[in-house]
Structures are given as structure tokens and as C-alpha cells.
């Protein structure tokens, strides 16, 4: 589609007009969540399974009904734990979308790609829409494709750091090589960084900490929504080539008054 066209993002059979995904953690008050949803324009929201209350109380009571739930398996240390959490989420009425997180490393909070692929394969066979969180490793990403993932979600920097696209070159390889949507997740700290990820060709960005930790989370949510949209438009429009030497934008010859 061209930049002026209707650029819907289809994932798991659902058409999305926004390519910004948001989270529910770290807010000073859960009552901010519906305001952030509205300001950002996001349609997909992730929530840790341990915070889900099927009775409608707690965090779930603050998520607007139109949002696509993306439960995540935060806290899972093995593939088996991730699978169990995903099944519990579906049984609790959270649908069949699941963000797989398998993290046994408590110091750096880096995802285990091989356990993630194992959980992805099991759940994809059970008709889950699986979005695995992973290090931007080409071979792990290929294994996730083979396992039946609906998208892959490489980290831009360690989770919660707001340090931006520290893995930019590796993400670019995934965008070029992997035949699935690439959703940049974790580490993005500024709207300009989300815009840059989208300019590269990422399909979407998931942002939580940068919004929740801002002085004005609602204002920051709006900024991220606009930045993701701008980056996507720039990608569709086609970025101009980079050059090493200066190149004038106007002719350097034929000034007024010159010639016969």
C-alpha cells in the first residue's frame, strides 16, 4: 500500500489501524490505563497473567473493552510454565492471543530463545496466536517461524531500560530475512526511537515503561502514537538514500544575472 492508502495491520485475523501496542505495568495508578489507551490510539494491550482477575476486578477492570488483549507469560522460567500460563489465560476468557516470555535469568532479564521456541510450537498447534519475545537472533527467529509464531518480538534493549534501539543492526536483519511481522518490544525509551524502528520497516512497536514512567503518561502515550504513525508513513513513502558527500538541493550554476 502507498503512504496515502488504508494501511491496516492484520495480525491473528484481526485488522488494526494502530501499530503501537502498549502495556499495563508500572503505572502510578491503574486508572491511568484507559486514558493512555485513548491518547495513544493503541488497540492491543499486554497484561501479565499473574495480574489477571477473571472477576473483572483489579487491572482487568481498567482495560477498555475494545482493546485486543495480549496476555503475557511474564514470570515463566520454562517452556512448560509458559504453556501452562497460556492455557490458563484462555480458560479465563482472555482469548487466544499470547505473548510468550520465558526468562530464567533474573539479572539481565533476557529471554531464552530455545525454550521460547518450544513453547511457541506447542501453543501454535493448539491454535493460539503466538507472539514470542526474543533476542534479535536470526537463527532463533527462524526457529520461531518454523514453530508457527504469528510474529516475532525482538528486544531493542534490555527490558525496562528506556535505552532505545541498541540492537538496531540485528533487528534490521530480522526485518529483511524473516517472513513474519517484526514487532520491536522492550527498551524503547523515546517516541523518536519508536519512529526510527518503524522507518526501518518494523510492523509495530510495543511500549510500556517509557509511557508509564513519564512525568505525564497520557501525554507521552499520545506522542508515541503519533511517532509510530509518522515512522510508518516515512517507511511507506520510501526514505531517500544516504550519501557520503554533500549534494546541493538546488543547482549551483546559472545564477540570476549570469550569461548573455
Q: Does some domain include residue 124?
A: yes
- Beta strand 129-134 with 153-154 is parallel
**Residue 184 belongs to what domain range?**
14-237
CA atoms within 13 A on the CB side of 140: 21
Q: Does some domain include residue 8?
A: no
**Annotated catalytic residue within 99, 115, 118, 190:** 99
The pLDDT of residue 2 is: 42
Is the C-alpha dihedral spanning 243, 246, 248, 252 positive or negative?
negative
Q: Does some domain include residue 259?
A: no
The pLDDT of residue 25 is: 87
> Which cell goes with 137?
537472533
Q: Is 99 one of the catalytic residues?
A: yes
Residue 206 DSSP one-character state: E
Q: Judge if pTM exceeds 0.85.
A: yes
Count up the domains in the chain and report the number. 1
Per-residue DSSP letters for 9-68? EEETTEEES--EEE--SS-S-GGGHHHHHHHH---EEEEEGGG--TTS-GGGGGS-TTSE
Q: Does some domain include residue 258?
A: no
Q: Does some domain include residue 5?
A: no
The pLDDT averaged over each successive group of 10 residues in the chain (260 residues) is 65 94 91 95 90 62 92 92 94 92 86 93 97 95 97 92 92 96 94 96 96 96 97 93 75 62
CATH code, domain with 77:
3.20.20.70
The pLDDT of residue 105 is: 82
DSSP bridge partners of 29: none
Is the C-alpha dihedral spanning 116, 161, 35, 49 positive or negative?
positive
* Cell numbers 508515541: residue: 224
The pLDDT of residue 169 is: 95
Is residue 83 within a helix (H) or strand (E), and if so which, with residue range?
A: helix 79-91
Amino acid at each position: 500500500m502507498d503512504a496515502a492508502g488504508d494501511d491496516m495491520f492484520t495480525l491473528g485475523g484481526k485488522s488494526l489501524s494502530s501499530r503501537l501496542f502498549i502495556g499495563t505495568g508500572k503505572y502510578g495508578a491503574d486508572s491511568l490505563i484507559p486514558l493512555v489507551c485513548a491518547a495513544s490510539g493503541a488497540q492491543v494491550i499486554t497484561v501479565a497473567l499473574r495480574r489477571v482477575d477473571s472477576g473483572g476486578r483489579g487491572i482487568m477492570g481498567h482495560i477498555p473493552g475494545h482493546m485486543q488483549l495480549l496476555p503475557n507469560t511474564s514470570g515463566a522460567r520454562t517452556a512448560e510454565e509458559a504453556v501452562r500460563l497460556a492455557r490458563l489465560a484462555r480458560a479465563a476468557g482472555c482469548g487466544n492471543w499470547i505473548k510468550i516470555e520465558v526468562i530464567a535469568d533474573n539479572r539481565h532479564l533476557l529471554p531464552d530463545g530455545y525454550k521460547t521456541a518450544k513453547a511457541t510450537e506447542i501453543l501454535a498447534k493448539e491454535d493460539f496466536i503466538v507472539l514470542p519475545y526474543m533476542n534479535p537472533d536470526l537463527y532463533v527467529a527462524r526457529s520461531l517461524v518454523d514453530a508457527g509464531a504469528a510474529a516475532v518480538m525482538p528486544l531493542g534493549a534490555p527490558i525496562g531500560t528506556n535505552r532505545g534501539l541498541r540492537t538496531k543492526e540485528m533487528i534490521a536483519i530480522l526485518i529483511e530475512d524473516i517472513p513474519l511481522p517484526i514487532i520491536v518490544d522492550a527498551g524503547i525509551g523515546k517516541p523518536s526511537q519508536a519512529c526510527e524502528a518503524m522507518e526501518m520497516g518494523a510492523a509495530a512497536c510495543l511500549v510500556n515503561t517509557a509511557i508509564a514512567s513519564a512525568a505525564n503518561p497520557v501525554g507521552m502515550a499520545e506522542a508515541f502514537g503519533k511517532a509510530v504513525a509518522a515512522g510508518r508513513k516515512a517507511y511507506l513513502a520510501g526514505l531517500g538514500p544516504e550519501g557520503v558527500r554533500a549534494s546541493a538541493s538546488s543547482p549551483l550554476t546559472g545564477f540570476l544575472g549570469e550569461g548573455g
